[in-house]
């Protein structure tokens, strides 16, 4: 069987984004087990119903990447105990026009990191509610919250976090495979 195609949405869009780093660790850990396709959600315009029926080409491209994906991975920062607007904007684009929601049935995983003690729990908790409404099938366990250390020794994740990321990747692979089989 070919690798599942996983569309990755990374909500950290600054140059030195910690969540982009976490996504790089995920990629390294997953190796060739998924075909990971990151769409740069910061290139999407703000969603507006004025343009939803005739959107710019970047939106059309985004929608075709959603359609082509078997699963979705969301890597979220935490902004004010929620997830960033840039992520919500991308999710909204994929859900519209009314009746043409492209997300239903797709298995999804969420990971995230922040320097704060709860390592994006607040963001992920709110994100789950939105993904549930959009009818994505979000893996509930394990959850991956990660307090990003001030310095990474040798540019590597600390051992226990690296082991936990391996476990997360294993479980996500199983979760995606189960949904693809059931399709
Ligand atoms: C507008 C804003 C709100 C933030 N709110 C939170 C928060 O609620 N909890 C938290 O742990 N960190 C918060 N932070 C700090 C972010 O976790 C930190 O900037 C992180 O590096 C952002 O992720 P990124 O590096 O992937 O962009 C906030 C940062 C910004 C800019």
**Mean pLDDT, to the nearest integer, of 147-165?**
92
For ligand 1, is residue 77 a contact (CB within 6 Å)?
yes
| Cα–Cα dist 7/65, whole Å | 7
The chain-wide mean pLDDT, for the chain, equals 97
pLDDT at 152: 87
| Cα–Cα dist 21/29, whole Å | 12
Ligand 1 centroid – CA 20 distance (Å): 13
Strand spans (E) along 5-49: 5-10, 35-38
pLDDT in tens, 33-71: 999 999 999 999 999 999 999 999 999 999 999 999 999
Residue 154: pLDDT band with limits 50, 70, 90: confident
Does the pTM of the predicted model rise above 0.85?
yes
**Which numbered atom of ligand 1 lies nearest the CA of 20?**
26
**Mean pLDDT, to the nearest integer, of 126-132?**
98
Domain hosting 73: range is: 5-182
Q: Could you tell me which residue, 183 or 170, shows the higher pLDDT?
A: 170
**Mean pLDDT, to the nearest integer, of 4-22?**
97
Ligand 1 centroid – CA 78 distance (Å): 5
User: Residue 132, Cα to own-chain centre: how many angstroms?
Assistant: 14
Ligand 1 centroid – CA 149 distance (Å): 14
For ligand 1, is residue 79 a contact (CB within 6 Å)?
yes
CA nearest 130: which of 174, 94, 80, 172?
94
Q: Which of 11, 13, 26, 77 to mutate to test the pocket of ligand 1 (most atoms within 8 A of CB)?
A: 77
Structure tokens belonging to residue 18: 């910690």
pLDDT in tens, 105-118: 999 999 999 999 99
Residues linked to residue 114 through DSSP beta bridges, in sequence order: 147
Domain count, the chain: 1
Instruction: Give the relative orientation of helices 85-95 and 121-133 as an angle to the nearest 10 degrees.
Output: 10
The CATH number linked to 137 is 3.40.50.360
């Amino acid at each position: 069987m070919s690798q599942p195609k996983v569309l990755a949405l990374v909500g950290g869009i600054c140059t030195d984004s910690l969540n982009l780093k976490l996504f790089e660790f995920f990629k390294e850990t997953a190796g060739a087990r998924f075909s990971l396709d990151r769409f740069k959600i910061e290139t999407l315009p703000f969603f507006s119903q004025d343009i939803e029926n005739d959107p710019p080409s970047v939106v059309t491209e985004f929608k075709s990447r959603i359609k082509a994906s078997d699963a979705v991975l969301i890597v979220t920062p935490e902004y004010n105990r929620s997830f960033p607007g840039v992520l919500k904007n991308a999710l909204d684009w994929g859900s519209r026009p009314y009746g043409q929601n492209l997300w239903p049935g797709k298995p999804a995983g969420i990971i995230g990191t922040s320097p704060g003690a709860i390592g994006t729990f607040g963001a992920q908790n709110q994100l789950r509610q939105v993904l549930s409404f959009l009818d994505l099938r979000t893996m509930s366990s394990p959850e991956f919250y990660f307090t990003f250390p001030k310095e990474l020794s040798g540019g590597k994740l600390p051992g226990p976090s690296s082991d936990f990321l391996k476990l997360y990747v294993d479980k996500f692979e199983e979760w995606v495979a189960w949904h693809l089989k059931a399709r």
